[in-house]
Amino acid sequence: MTKQVAKDYGVLVEEEGIALRGLFIIDPEGIVRYSVVHDLDVGRSVNETLRVLKALKTGGLCPVDWEEGDDLL
């Protein structure tokens, strides 16, 4: 196990040999469109991830707390 992916995305804590909780949404062209990194004590939200993915798919400017069906800016 090389931990190369964790290194590449900047979530590896090398001194401890562990990775922080990172989440990355990468588009088909390989561009990171969304990233969030939490400390080990904090979990990730599936609902927030899905909300962000839907917002990215609109291709528009989504305000804070935007939900599918809401107006874009």
Q: In the chain, what are the domain boundaries?
A: 4-44
| Torsional sign, CA 31, 36, 37, 41 | negative
Per-residue pLDDT reduced to its tens digit, 1-12: 899 999 999 999
Per-residue pLDDT reduced to its tens digit, 5-61: 999 999 999 999 999 999 999 999 999 999 999 999 998 899 999 999 999 999 999
DSSP element (H, E) containing 60: none
Rounded to 5, what percent of the chain is helix, strand, coil?
25, 25, 50
DSSP element (H, E) containing 54: helix 46-58
